[in-house]
Amino acid sequence: MRFYNTQHPFYCGIDLHARAMYVCILNQAGETLLHRNMKTTPDAFLKAIAPYRPQIVVAVECMFTWYWLADLCADEDIPFVLGHALYMKAIHGGKAKNDRIDSQKIAVLLRGGMLPQAYVYPAEMRATRDLLRRRMHLAHKRGELLAHVQNTNSQYNLPAIGKNLAYQANRDGVAERFADPAVQKSIEVDLALVSHYDTLLRDVELTILKTAKQHDPNTLYLLQTVPGIGKILSLVLLYEIHHIERFPRVQDFASYCRLIKCAKESNGKRSGTSGSKIGNAHLKWAFSEAAVLFLRDNPEGQKFLSRLEKKHGKGKALSILAHKLARAIYYMLKRKVAFDMKRFLND
């Protein structure tokens, strides 16, 4: 957890919403200089903080509306801090809650050096990262449709389809397997939507790949030297990690990827784990996928997994492999070197 400790004469905490924001400005002595609700417009915000510029720092909670304010502060050369929502909830949770109280608590945490920071993702890559996340959403919807076709086939106890429906050529005649016209129509709708998703995904992937080659082609190349990491996984890793330098230690990176469990301990006694939802869910998914794909057509990797299974069991073995891949990629990107299988298996 990183806290913002820089001292300023004035501290601005904002409880930000789509149409309104509650602004609280404190001085170093903790006195409230401004505390009111206003519209979420650049003009209203700049007018409110005008008497305190250029000695003010602005903080908001990491919710979906922060993009415009972060970009405005960057353009106006105003220090901006993005608060980590889950950590902030743990620190300043109270009995009463409303916009007025929340804005004051953000300002108080900022003034006291106790505001946990989230990463302010740079504007030039933010839109492409969001498009990639949208692509993942579309891919999941496509997978649900294909799963529904298979489930319907099992529901009516028909013989296995025997073909991979992910490919367009294998979908001919699938709807005709069902005798009931209503079921046929349901399957036809599923397959029509899958075909539409195929077109959308190809177009989105082409756009993302072109942009990624402009942003950081070298990192994209290094990521694809890992067995099993192809076009999509390398893009997810590139845009979700951004700069590996923002992680001082490999342990910080593994924690951010949700690949380790954080122990809860008091007075020398452990009481389970916590923080399972703190971190990047997209990187968790990416490394879980990478661990499975790493084993495909990879006899050395399969032998390594077998050794892990004998020691830890099947479920935990894949988790360990995902963690090991994350550590390897961390050092690859730090040192700017390609993946080395021998070193990976021997470490």
pLDDT in tens, 64-78: 899 999 999 999 999
Are 52 and 88 within one domain? yes
Q: Is the pLDDT of residue 186 over 90?
A: yes
Average pLDDT value for residue range 233-253: 94
Q: Is the pLDDT of residue 273 over 80?
A: no
Are 148 and 242 within one domain? no
Tokens describing residue 169: 């050529």
Q: Which residue has the higher pLDDT, 141 or 267?
A: 141
Q: Is the pLDDT of residue 295 over 80?
A: yes
pLDDT band at 150 (very low <50, low <70, confident <90, very high): very high
pLDDT band at 238 (very low <50, low <70, confident <90, very high): very high
Are 237 and 321 within one domain? yes
**Residue 288's closest CA among 228, 222, 201, 220?**
228
What is the domain extent for residue 334? 231-263+274-346
Tokens describing residue 126: 């933010």
Q: Is the pLDDT of residue 288 over 90?
A: yes
Euclidean distance between CA atoms 14 and 109, whole angstroms: 12
Average pLDDT value for residue range 119-137: 93
Are 34 and 105 within one domain? yes
Average pLDDT value for residue range 328-338: 95
Average pLDDT value for residue range 154-175: 93
Q: Is the pLDDT of residue 94 over 90?
A: no
Q: Is the pLDDT of residue 270 over 80?
A: no
Residue 91 has a pLDDT of 65
Residue 293 has a pLDDT of 95
Average pLDDT value for residue range 34-57: 95
CATH number at residue 79: 3.30.420.10
Q: Is the pLDDT of residue 25 over 90?
A: yes
Residue 164 lies in a domain: yes
Residue 220 lies in a domain: no
Are 203 and 253 within one domain? no
Tokens describing residue 14: 């904002």
Average pLDDT value for residue range 114-130: 92
Residue 268 lies in a domain: no
Q: Is the pLDDT of residue 93 over 70?
A: no
Q: Is the pLDDT of residue 321 over 90?
A: yes
Residue 269 lies in a domain: no
Euclidean distance between CA atoms 197 and 193, whole angstroms: 6
Are 243 and 330 within one domain? yes
Residue 222 lies in a domain: no
Residue 181 lies in a domain: yes
Location of structure tokens 């008497």: 51
Please tell me the total count of domains within the chain. 3
Are 91 and 152 within one domain? no
Are 286 and 205 within one domain? no
Euclidean distance between CA atoms 31 and 60, whole angstroms: 19
Average pLDDT value for residue range 191-206: 95
Q: Residue 226 contacts by C-beta under 8 Å, 6 or more apart in sequence?
A: 290, 294, 325, 328, 329, 332, 339
pLDDT band at 275 (very low <50, low <70, confident <90, very high): low
pLDDT band at 217 (very low <50, low <70, confident <90, very high): confident
Residue 60 has a pLDDT of 96
Provide the pairing of β-strand 32-39 with 20-27. antiparallel
Are 128 and 202 within one domain? yes
Residue 78 lies in a domain: yes
Are 185 and 240 within one domain? no
Q: In the listed set 62, 87, 111, which residue is the last one of a domain according to the structure?
A: 111
Summary mean pLDDT of the chain = 92
- Of 108-112, 213-217, 232-236, 245-249, where does mean pLDDT reach its minimum? 213-217
Are 165 and 241 within one domain? no
Average pLDDT value for residue range 117-123: 93
Residue 209 has a pLDDT of 86
Euclidean distance between CA atoms 180 and 240, whole angstroms: 46
Q: Is the pLDDT of residue 264 over 70?
A: yes
**Residue 58's closest CA among 19, 111, 97?**
111
Residue 174 has a pLDDT of 94
Q: In the listed set 62, 86, 111, which residue is the last one of a domain according to the structure?
A: 111
Average pLDDT value for residue range 318-342: 95
Q: Residue 223 contacts by C-beta under 8 Å, 6 or more apart in sequence?
A: 229, 233, 234, 237, 238, 329, 332
Are 208 and 235 within one domain? no
Residue 2 lies in a domain: no
Residue 212 has a pLDDT of 81
Q: Is the pLDDT of residue 290 over 80?
A: yes
Residue 90 has a pLDDT of 66
